[in-house]
Amino acid sequence: VHGVPPSLSAKVVGSFAYLTVRDRLPTILTKVIDTIHRNKNKFFEEYGEEGIQAEKQTIGLLSKMRNELQTDKPVIPLTDSLQDAECWNQYLQKHQKLHGDQESVSWFKSPWLYVECYMYRRIHEALWLNPPISDYDVFNEGKTQGFFESQQAVMTICTHLEGINSNIENLSKNQLFEHFNKLLQVSLWGNKCDLSISAGQDNSQKTSPIDSLVSLQPLILVNDSNTVWSTLISAQTHARSEKTTVRVDIVLDNAGFELVTDLVLADFLVSSGLAHEVHFHGKSIPWFVSDVTAHDFQWTIQQTMAANHKCMSKIGYQWKSHLKDGVWSYHDHPFWTQPHEFCDMAADAPDLYANLQGADLVLFKGDLNYRKLVGDRDWDHTVGFGTALQGFGPAPLCSLRTLKANVQVGLQPGQAEKLTSHEPDWMTCGKYAVIQFYSSKAE
C-alpha cells in the first residue's frame, strides 16, 4: 500500500531486529533447551521411559530449529495439526508468492515480527509433537521466580490499593483522578518487568512502585492519560443514562509483577465504579517468555490469596470473587498468538474484533502489543498514532508501553532527534514509555 513503510526486519544489519534475531532469540532457545533437559528426571518420574524419549525428541527439534535460525534457512511450514497451523502456513505461502522465492522468507530476511512470533509457535510445536509433555510450559519457572522476587513490591502495591479502597466512597473526583493516574503509571512501568528483552535474565520489580513514579514522569514521551480519564468519565455518564455498564478490556502482556499491576488497576476501576466489568485477554500458548497464560492468571490470584500478608491476601480474595461474580473475566483467542498486525484483526479474527467493539476502552499492555498495533513498521516518528493503526480501532484504545523495539509514532517534531542526540538507543533501552490514546470517535 502506498505510504506504508516497510516492516522492521533483521535484514538491516546492525538494527535492533538484526541483533535480536542474531543474539537474543538463540539465547532464549538455548535456555528453553536447558530447561527441558534439566527437567528430564521430572519427566521420567511422571511418564517413565516415554518421558525421557519425549525430552530427547523435543530437544532434537529445538536444536534443529536453532540451527535453521543461525544459518538463516527459509522458514518452514508447521507440521502439527493444531487449529492455527493452517493460518501460519498460509501466511508463509503468501509471502513466498509475494517475493517470488523461498530465500526471501528466511529467518533474517522475513519481517522481524513474523519470525519472532514464529519461533514461539515452533517451540510450542516441538512440545506438542511429544504428547506426554505437550502441555509443559518451558517458561513457567522463570515466570514463577519473577513473581516471587517481586514480593516486596507486590505487598507495597497491595497495601497502597487497600488504603485507597478503604476510603473510596469519600473521595472527590479530583482525588479519584489522582489515584487513577498513579495506578495507570504503575501498570505502565510494570511493563519494564519482562523476560523477553533480557533473554530470560530478570523480570522482577525490586524498588517501590509508588515512590519511583515522580522521577519516572519525565520519561513518558507521550502522555494521553487525561483523554483516557475523560473517555472513562463520558462512558460512565452514558452508561448511567442508558442504564448499561462500562466495560474496560485489558490486553495483558507479562506475568509476574506486571500482571499484579494490571490486576491492581482493574481492581481500582471496579472499586471506584469507573468501570463495572473488566475483560482480561491473555495468551493461549506460552509466548515471548513471560506473557500471561490462563494458568499464570489463575496462579497469580491463588498466590495473592495465599500470601502471608494481610492486605495482599485480602485483595487476592477480592480478585477471586470478582472472577466468580463475573465482574472480571479472562479470555484468550488464537489471534493473540498469531503473527498478524492488529489492522488485520477485523478480517482475520472478526469474532475477536466484534468482541472488542463491546468495550468502552481497551488497554494494550506492553511492547509487543504496540508493535502489532502499528504493524512493526519503520514509521516516521511524527506520523500520527491513528495513521499507524491503519484502520484498527474497535473501541477507544490506549497503549501502555515501555519502549523496547525501534518503532515509535506520534511524537512532536524534533522530539525524536533530541532523544537520539542524547541517547541513541532510546527506543530499545526500556527506559522510556508512552501512554498513547486513540479513538476513531475523536476524528
Residues near ligand F6P (CB under 6 A) are 20, 24, 116, 191, 194, 196-197, 253-254, 288, 366-368, 371, 404-405
Residue 333 Cβ vs ligand F6P, minimum distance, rounded to whole Å? 17
CA dihedral defined by 64, 70, 73, 75, rounded to 10 degrees? 70
d(CA 437, CA 165): 27
d(CA 228, CA 435): 9
120 scored as a contact of Mg ion (CB under 5 A): no
Q: Which is nearer to Mg ion, 63 or 198 (CB)?
A: 198
Residue 139 Cβ vs ligand F6P, minimum distance, rounded to whole Å? 12
Residue 213 Cβ vs ligand F6P, minimum distance, rounded to whole Å? 19
Q: Which three cell numbers stand for residue 48?
A: 517413565
Question: CA-CA distances (angstroms) from residue 140 to 74, 117, 251, 289?
Answer: 30, 18, 20, 9
Q: Write the CB contacts of 347 (distance below 8 Å, at least 6 apart in sequence).
A: none
d(CA 76, CA 416): 38
Interactions with Mg ion, residue window 284-303 (CB under 5 A): 288, 291
191 scored as a contact of Mg ion (CB under 5 A): no
**Pick from ligand F6P, Mg ion, none: which does 20 bind, CB < 5 to 8 A by kind?**
ligand F6P
Q: Which is nearer to Mg ion, 288 or 364 (CB)?
A: 288
The H-assigned helical ranges of 82-172 are 85-99, 112-128, 140-149, 151-165
**Pick from Mg ion, ligand F6P, none: which does 197 bind, CB < 5 to 8 A by kind?**
ligand F6P
The torsion region of residue 199 among left (phi > 0), alpha (psi -120 to 50) and beta comes to left
Residue 100 Cβ vs ligand F6P, minimum distance, rounded to whole Å? 28
Of residues 377, 381, 378, 387, the one with CA closest to residue 413: 381
3-state DSSP assignment of residue 74: strand
**Pick from Mg ion, ligand F6P, none: which does 364 bind, CB < 5 to 8 A by kind?**
none
Residue 97 Cβ vs ligand F6P, minimum distance, rounded to whole Å? 27
In the chain the first and final C-alpha atoms are separated, in Å, by 22
**Pick from Mg ion, ligand F6P, none: which does 262 bind, CB < 5 to 8 A by kind?**
none
CB 379: neighbour CB atoms within 10 A? Answer: 20
Residue 140 Cβ vs ligand F6P, minimum distance, rounded to whole Å? 16
Q: Which is nearer to Mg ion, 50 or 202 (CB)?
A: 202
d(CA 257, CA 215): 20
254 scored as a contact of Mg ion (CB under 5 A): yes
Q: Which is nearer to ligand F6P, 23 or 135 (CB)?
A: 23
Residue 134 Cβ vs ligand F6P, minimum distance, rounded to whole Å? 24
Q: Which three cell numbers stand for residue 429?
A: 533501552
Residue 35 Cβ vs ligand F6P, minimum distance, rounded to whole Å? 18
**Pick from Mg ion, ligand F6P, none: which does 116 bind, CB < 5 to 8 A by kind?**
ligand F6P
Quick one: which segment of 15-23, 166-174, 245-253, 305-313 binds Mg ion (CB under 5 A)? 245-253
Give the number of residues written for the chain. Answer: 443
CB 227: neighbour CB atoms within 10 A? Answer: 17
Q: Which three cell numbers stand for residue 416?
A: 525524536
Q: Which is nearer to ligand F6P, 332 or 367 (CB)?
A: 367
Give me the 193-212 binding string for Mg ion, x by CB under 5 A, dash otherwise: -x------------------
Can you say whether the dihedral through the CA atoms of 217, 218, 222, 227 is positive or negative? positive
**Pick from ligand F6P, Mg ion, none: which does 307 bind, CB < 5 to 8 A by kind?**
none
Q: Which is nearer to ligand F6P, 284 or 440 (CB)?
A: 284
Residue 166 Cβ vs Mg ion, minimum distance, rounded to whole Å? 33
Of residues 433, 367, 331, 441, the one with CA closest to residue 397: 441
Residue 207 Cβ vs ligand F6P, minimum distance, rounded to whole Å? 19
Q: Which is nearer to Mg ion, 194 or 277 (CB)?
A: 194
Quick one: which segment of 31-39, 187-195, 234-242, 327-335 binds Mg ion (CB under 5 A)? 187-195
In the DSSP assignment, the letter for residue 9 is B
How many chain residues touch Mg ion (CB under 5 A)? 5
d(CA 149, CA 378): 36
**Pick from ligand F6P, Mg ion, none: which does 371 bind, CB < 5 to 8 A by kind?**
ligand F6P
Longest CA span, the chain: 66
d(CA 161, CA 171): 14
Q: Which residues bind Mg ion (CB under 5 A)?
A: 194, 253-254, 288, 291
